[in-house]
Chain A
Amino acid sequence: MSLTRQDVEKIARLARLSITETEMPVYVTSLSSIVDFVADLSRVETDRVEPMAHPLEGQRQRLRADAVSETDHHEKYQANAPQVQAGLYVVPRVIE
Chain B
Amino acid sequence: MLHTLSIGELARRLAAKEISSLELTRHFLERIERLNPNLNAVITLTADRALEAARAADLRLGAGERGRLLGIPLIHKDIFCTEGVRTSCGSRMLDNFISPYDATIVSRLKAAGTVMLGKSNMDEFAMGSSNETSYYGPVRNPWDTTKVPGGSSGGSSAASAARLAPFTTGTDTGGSIRQPAALTGVTGVKPTYGRVSRYGMIAFASSLDQAGVLARSAEDAAAVLEVMAGFDPRDSTSVDAPVPDYPALLDAPLKGLKIGLLREFFDGLESRNAALIRDALEVYTSMGAETVEVSLPHLPLSVPTYYVVAPAECSSNLSRFDGVRFGYRCEQPKDLKDLYERSRGEGFGPEVKRRIMTGTYVLSAGYFDAYYLKAQKVRRLITDDFRAAFEKVDLVVGPTTPTPAFAIGAKIDDPVTMYLNDIYTIGANLAGLPGISAPCGFVDGLPVGMQLIGPHFSEARLLSAAHHFQRATDWHLKTPGGYQ
Contacts and interface: CB of A to CB of B under 8 A. Distances in A.
Contacts, number: 171
Nearest to B417: A33
B233 to A, nearest CB: 7
Interface in B201-254: 207-208, 233, 236-237, 239
Interface in A1-51: 3, 7-8, 11-12, 14-20, 23, 26-27, 30-31, 33-35, 37-42, 44, 46, 49-51
A61 B236 contact: yes
Interface of A is mostly: loop
Most buried by B among A20, A27, A46: A46
Interface of B is mostly: helix
Interface stretch (B278-286, B300-308, B396-404): B300-308
Given A19-B353, A41-B378, A34 B344 contact: no
A32 B374 CA distance: 18
A86 B335 CA distance: 21
Interface residues of A, number: 53
A35 B333 contact: no
Chain B, interface size category, equals: 35 or more
A56 B315 CA distance: 22
Contacts of B338: 92
Interface of A: 3, 7-8, 11-12, 14-20, 23, 26-27, 30-31, 33-35, 37-42, 44, 46, 49-56, 59, 61-62, 64, 73, 76-77, 79-83, 89, 91-94
Interface of B: 96-98, 100, 193-194, 207-208, 233, 236-237, 239, 298, 301, 303-305, 307-308, 315, 319, 322-329, 333-342, 344-346, 348, 350, 353-354, 356-358, 360-362, 364, 370-371, 373-381, 383, 415-416, 419, 430-433, 456
Return the 9 tightest CB-CB contacts between A and B, nearest first: A55-B432, A18-B345, A51-B376, A82-B329, A52-B380, A80-B326, A46-B377, A18-B341, A49-B377
